[in-house]
Amino acid sequence: MRLTADEQSMLDGQQGEPRRWAMEHMLRVGRFFDAADFVPVVQAHIMADTESLGEAGVEFLESLAAAPEAERRVRIPMITDPRGIDFCHYRRLKQTDAMAVLEQRAIDAFEALGIMMTNTCINYQTIMPPVRGEHLAFGDTGVVIYCNSVLGACSNFEGGPSALAAGLTGRTPRYGLHLEQNRRATRRFRVSCQPRYLSDWGALGGIVGARAGSYREVPVIEGIDLAPGSDEMKHLGAAMASFGSVPLFHLVGVTPEAPTLEAICDPAALEVEVIGEADFEDFFARYGGKGEKVDVVVFSAPQLSLLEMQSLADLLDDKKIHADTDMLAVTSPAVAADARRMGLVERIESSGALVLEGMCFYQSYAREMGEANSWTRLLTNSVKLANIIGGYGYQPTLSNMENCVASAIAGEIV
Amino acid sequence: MPVIELECHLGVGPEVSGEALVTDDNFSARYDLDRIKGIFSRPQHKLAGQSYVDKIMVFNTAKGGVASAWMLYEMKSRGIAPKAILFNYVNPILAQGAALAEMALCDRFAAGDITQLIRTGDRVTVKPAEGLVTITRE
């Protein structure tokens, strides 16, 4: 790979051990993906919950954080994905003190590195939405697919180590979505019915993601009548990335790189795959459970926007969650502060539900929480969560927010 | 004993040898594994219930889940990890994770679908720096 004088100086260790490690790590990754050089990035976002870090990962962060201040501070604005703990509520969730201690150690290391603890996977809705053409090093697949697709920014999926390396150096290897030729559509889908609920948008993402099935595929979707809102796009993208490792999609006439079909592909070269009512029905039918007792209803993955918090509060007003069912609503610290100020948190929690902030359900020791709270049957409107939580010992059911709330009140899936 | 040589793109990590565990399914360390027990835990995964410890794993591709980048490092630190992971095509996250964990990882095989070319139980040597995988079959 071609290196600038500054990059070579970092690689040689002249700017300290953290930046030397970062360059070495990125060279390994860049060579693997045939990157010719590095591209400057303007923001980094790191996914590093303590469940995935473990003791080894936290020790690794602490080793970087022990360097002299001038050598360890990130070079560009860098923010965090959700944490594994909400310190106000972890005991109620039956998470352990050991988990909280590990979490605090990770936070201390991040802060020593100059990273801002935003603790959110909806930074594109709440912190600083990227601009078209900006090069970024973002973690969280839902964040990356949204910023690439809806905003026209350029980021690969950056795992924690690579996002950190980008933050420490202000660059990332130029491969994948940083290259124009990898952003053109390779699969063509047409919907013959319109998604209605957020869970329908998630289902569309799940269907397209499963069919595309690879980081190298870029789906383009035709047939959407009305431009979806930010929350609809959020669920569409998060589910597509979860089901297919897909980092970018286009909606014809909606997303910035696809004003027309011709702008993003050669239409004659791509076969049209139609997605209709029956595909949606089949998708939801995978997640059974109707009539069964529901142990926990979870709104998370991605964190709820202020508008979703308002929708939930409206649905829960003057209602009580069933005594044998728990409900968790997970949002970002920024949204939680606004929602608290506006009375939404109080309205949600008056029902018996719990609002959690700065964490995400599946990044928060979901297996241990499930075992400690006897949660097996989980109901959610998040297609992403329904897709992944089975690996943690849960039986997921998928429905829209209205049905999720009605089920929580009834104590069984309606 | 026949030896088959398979060329691939240059990979990351050290040279290793071990027994293959093969599936045409995909992979995410976060979604699919019980990392304490060292087994595939997501019921829908084709390897559900099987141990991945010290195996040369062979998958089609890698799925979403940025956390996998940290998880390979954490798994290896406890010694409950695969020896190597081979894909038809990997996504950036697993490649980044293998680079941090110094775990052998290769993809892009010249001879075609790696999930068909290697069989479970094969004795496999992975040489990432040479872009070469050899199979010794009984």
In terms of domains, do A312 and A278 share one? no
Q: How many domains does chain A have?
A: 3
Query: Which residues of chain A does B38 touch, with a Cβ-Cβ cutoff of 8 Å?
Result: none
Interchain proximity B44–A393, CB inside 8 Å: no
Chain A, 161 to 200: residues with Cβ < 8 Å from chain B are: 161-162, 175-176
**pLDDT band for position A7 (cuts 50, 70, 90):** very high
CA-based nearest distance A31→chain B, Å: 8
Q: Give the lowest-confidence range in A299-308, A358-367, B22-31.
A: B22-31
Interchain proximity B61–A245, CB inside 8 Å: yes
Q: Are A256 and A132 in contact (CB under 8 A)?
A: yes
pLDDT in tens, A159-170: 999 999 999 999
Interchain proximity A29–B91, CB inside 8 Å: no
In terms of domains, do A301 and A379 share one? yes
Query: Which residues of chain B does A364 touch, with a Cβ-Cβ cutoff of 8 Å?
Result: none
CA-based nearest distance A211→chain B, Å: 13
Domain assignment of residue B98, given as a range:
3-136
Q: What number is the average pLDDT over the span A89-106?
A: 97
Comparing alpha-carbon positions, the chain B residue that sits nearest to A215 is: B91
The backbone region for A406, taken as left when phi is positive above 0, alpha when psi lies in -120 to 50, beta otherwise, is: alpha
Q: Are B98 and B72 in contact (CB under 8 A)?
A: yes
In terms of domains, do A188 and A161 share one? no
Query: Which residues of chain A does B81 touch, with a Cβ-Cβ cutoff of 8 Å?
Result: none
In terms of domains, do A129 and A264 share one? no
This complex has an ipTM of 0.94
For the record, the structure tokens of A171 come out as 């660059």
In terms of domains, do A279 and A300 share one? no
What is the rounded CA–CA span in Å between residue A216 and residue A196? 29
What CATH number does the domain containing A176 carry? Answer: 3.30.499.10
Query: Which residues of chain A does B92 touch, with a Cβ-Cβ cutoff of 8 Å?
Result: 29, 33, 156-159, 162, 175-176, 215
Query: Which residues of chain A does B34 touch, with a Cβ-Cβ cutoff of 8 Å?
Result: 367, 391
In terms of domains, do A128 and A16 share one? yes
Chain B, 55 to 74: residues with Cβ < 8 Å from chain A are: 61-71, 73-74
In-domain check, residue A278:
yes
Percent over 70 (pLDDT), chain A: 100
CA-based nearest distance B34→chain A, Å: 8
- B10 in contact with A, Cβ within 8 Å: yes
Within A31-123, strands assigned E span 38-40, 44-46, 78-80
Query: Which residues of chain A does B74 touch, with a Cβ-Cβ cutoff of 8 Å?
Result: 52-57
Domain endpoint, select from A144, A165, A180:
A180
pLDDT in tens, A169-195: 999 999 999 999 999 999 999 999 999
What is the rounded CA–CA span in Å between residue A96 and residue A98? 5
- A141 in contact with B, Cβ within 8 Å: yes
Q: What number is the average pLDDT over the span A197-207?
A: 98
Within A20-119, strands assigned E span 38-40, 44-46, 78-80
In terms of domains, do A210 and A151 share one? no
In terms of domains, do A134 and A171 share one? yes
Alpha helices in chain B (DSSP H): 29-32, 68-77, 92-101, 114-117
What is the rounded CA–CA span in Å between residue A380 and residue A384? 10
pLDDT at A68 over 90: yes
In terms of domains, do A68 and A155 share one? yes
Which H or E run contains A250? strand A250-251
In terms of domains, do A117 and A174 share one? yes
Domain endpoint, select from A134, A156, A180:
A180
Q: What number is the average pLDDT over the span A314-323?
A: 98
What CATH number does the domain containing B36 carry? Answer: 3.50.30.10
Smallest CA-to-CA distance from B103 within B119, B86, B120, B117 is with B86
The tally of CA atoms less than 13 A away on the side-chain side of residue A40 is 6
pLDDT of residue B44: 87
CA-based nearest distance B1→chain A, Å: 32
For the record, the structure tokens of A297 come out as 């209803």
pLDDT of residue A391: 81
Q: Are B77 and A154 in contact (CB under 8 A)?
A: no
pLDDT of residue B64: 64
What is the rounded CA–CA span in Å between residue A25 and residue A372? 38
In terms of domains, do A171 and A188 share one? no
In terms of domains, do A34 and A91 share one? yes
pLDDT of residue A339: 98
Q: What number is the average pLDDT over the span B69-78?
A: 94
Closest residue to B66, CB basis, from A31, A32, A160: A160
Q: How many domains does chain B have?
A: 1
In DSSP terms, B87 is beta-bridged to B59
Chain B, 88 to 107: residues with Cβ < 8 Å from chain A are: 89, 91-93, 95-97, 99-100
Domain assignment of residue A94, given as a range:
5-180
- B131 in contact with A, Cβ within 8 Å: no
What is the rounded CA–CA span in Å between residue A310 and residue A280? 27
pLDDT in tens, A276-299: 999 999 999 999 889 999 999 999
Burial class (CB in 10 A: 0-12, 13-18, 19+), B1: exposed
In-domain check, residue A291:
no
In-domain check, residue A174:
yes
For the record, the structure tokens of A352 come out as 């018996």
Domain endpoint, select from A132, A157, A180:
A180
pLDDT at A53 over 80: yes
